Structure 1
Amino acid sequence: MKADEVRQALHGKQCTFVRVADVPAGIGTELSCPSTAGEIRIIGNLSSLQAAFDRTQEVVAQAKGIPVSGYSLDGLETLAAAERVTLRAVLEALRAAGLESIGEAPFDLLQNARRSIEEVNIAGLALARLTVHQLSTSNVSVLFKQVADLQRGVAVVRAFAPLPRTQNSALPTTGYDDIRRVALARLIVENVASIQVDWSLYGPKLAQVALTVGADDLDAVSPAEATGEGWRRAPLEEVRRNIRAAGQEPVERNGRFELIEHHTHAGSHIPAE
């Protein structure tokens, strides 16, 4: 398949994945930053800029060097309007609090995608991923061409997740639809390095097939350790098995897209594969 040829030209047999610990945005809510995570991601609605600043500082302090991402860019647009400040002011405040990257930018929800993503870059923040909130069956190719045009203008999008974050109940998708969209994204959005699939949202079966038609990065793998079922049932081992079953080599990364090292179940230290 042509889409897989494009992926191989960009990444060879390598497939990256990141273990993500989600923490709620609300002040005073439970905060867990496991050392096994490669990224701590702040999620949820924001009550005020001050609350977002305080929560970000709190999470960064607990993360102990693990990259911290957070928030959805469309939510920050809304917050800026509510606070009567510029989007850049909001972004710079979060950067000052220690945030490294914006958790996601839903292309179809942003007021002006290019302007807002440029503001992220100007504020000194990275963008973890460009996403699609909801995707109809009629405009997939058009939307992906718009994403490619956006990247030509901003050149800072590292990963694009083409599968929708929410489903339209009036237009439910099938596994075939999802796989076709991944392949189209890899063919059309050639100027974005990684085509990403959310492991926690779409599951191992679809993720494994997606890796054979153009995807090369798996987001949101659980940082949980081995359970009572044994280390082979741990999320880390499961994602590796699925990547290898797709004919690729698993490589763990962190929220900065840096390859990281890990430990085996027996405790011996080995490099990332």
Structure 2
Amino acid sequence: MPVTDAELSTLASSHDIITIGMKADEVRRSRHGSRTTFVRVATVAGDSGLPVEIPRAAGEVQIVGVPASRASAIERAREVVAAAGKVPVSGFSLADLEGLAAREHVTLRSLLEELQSAGLELVAEAPVDLLQDPRRSIEEVNIAGLSLARLTVYEMPAADAVAWYQRVAALQREVSVVRAFAPLPRRLNRLAPTTGYDDVRRVALARLLVENVPSIQVDWTLYGPKLAQVALTVGADDVDAVSPVDDDTLGRRRAPVEEVCRNIRVAGQEPAERDGRFDSIIR
């Protein structure tokens, strides 16, 4: 049952995390049932010429770092795509690509088209609070023939969460191409650190306020299994950045994929592995 505008207004100003979480979980289950997806991401440095090692279990290969130049970004995309085979390759922050296009005196679209021609499938992330022109830049990604792997938040005070999520919902109404939104910040504010309560509330409010984005995502590597498990009970339905390395030196139960599947089941849901295209992976 959809949440009414009146209920949204009340919940957004409420500190009753149990009620907020229950409502968010209702929205989540109405969209996804008990299915929770996760993706195993292999990261590679963005410097061209460096070795490329990709674990066999990777569902997405992500080029990380700020590209030094347009030429090096394109060359690195070619190198990684050649090594990745059929695994989808994502690369770079859209905010960094905005800056690179400006420095190189080219349009963002032309830069994105060159990366797409080099084999890149997805822009790795679009930090909504860092983009110079979120709507236009995300539209350029789509026009260039690329997809956006995830919409993210770089740094955001907890007090501004509701306003930011409303902006994200408005942005999605304009672009309609955002597949997953990760509401928890990539960089923590040292002057105003968040608490577990803040993080859980953010996830729940994101599911309620950004209903037009299919998936609410939590980063396994950045936030850890405990918060990820709680987030899955209050609106999140996708777990990002699971290790692709099958390290069972501490026992099979402690291997990354076993641990994430166990945490998803403890949250009362069913794990479903996917790749960077959001296609299912059956192993």
Q: How many residues align?
A: 262
Runs of 4 or more off by more than 6 Å in structure 1? none
Corresponding residue for residue 120 of structure 2: 99
**In structure 1, the residue corresponding to 2:177 is in which secondary structure?**
coil
List per-residue Cα deviations over 1:5-28 (Å, max 9, x = no partner). 000000000000000000000012
- Partners of 1:63 and 1:200 lie apart in 2 by 22
CA distance in 2, matches of 1:80, 1:74: 10
* Residues 138-175 of structure 1: per-residue CA shift (max 9 Å, x gap): 21100000000000000000000000000111100001
Distance 1:233 1:41 in 2: 24
Q: What CA distance in whole angstroms lies between the structure 2 residues aligned with 1:100 and 1:226?
A: 28
Determine helix, strand or coil for the equivalent of 2:106.
Answer: coil
Map 1:1-273 onto structure 2 (within 5 A): 1-262=22-283
Q: Distance in 2 between matches of 1:214 and 1:247?
A: 12
Deviation at 1:32, TM superposition (A): 1.1
Q: Secondary structure at the match of 2:159?
A: coil
* Deviations 1:99-153 (CA, angstroms, capped at 9, x unpaired): 0000000000000100000000000000000000001122110000000000000
- The answer on whether the counterparts of 1:226 and 1:232 sit within 8 Å (CA) in structure 2 is no
Residue aligned with 1:138, SS: helix
**Alpha-carbon distance in structure 2 between the residues aligned to 1:231 and 1:30:** 29
Aligned-residue RMSD, C-alpha: 0.7
Deviation at 1:29, TM superposition (A): 2.4
More helix by share: 2
- Give the partner amino acid of 1:183: A
Please report the TM-score for the alignment, with normalisation by the length of structure 1.
Answer: 0.95
Question: What are the superposed Cα offsets for residues 203-260 of structure 1, whole Å, 9 maximum, x if unpaired?
Answer: 0000000000000000000001133222221100000000000000000000000001
- Paired residues of 1:15 and 1:217 also in contact (CA < 8 A): yes
Q: Distance in 2 between matches of 1:27 and 1:34?
A: 19
Looking at structure 2, the residues matched to 192 and 250 of structure 1 have their Cα atoms a distance apart, in angstroms, of 20
Mean Cα deviation higher: 149-158 or 28-37: 28-37
> Can you give the 5+ residue segments of structure 1 that lack an aligned partner in the other structure?
263-273
Identity, in percent, stands at 63
- Is this contact kept in 2: 1:232–1:238, CA < 8 A? yes
Deviation at 1:30, TM superposition (A): 3.4
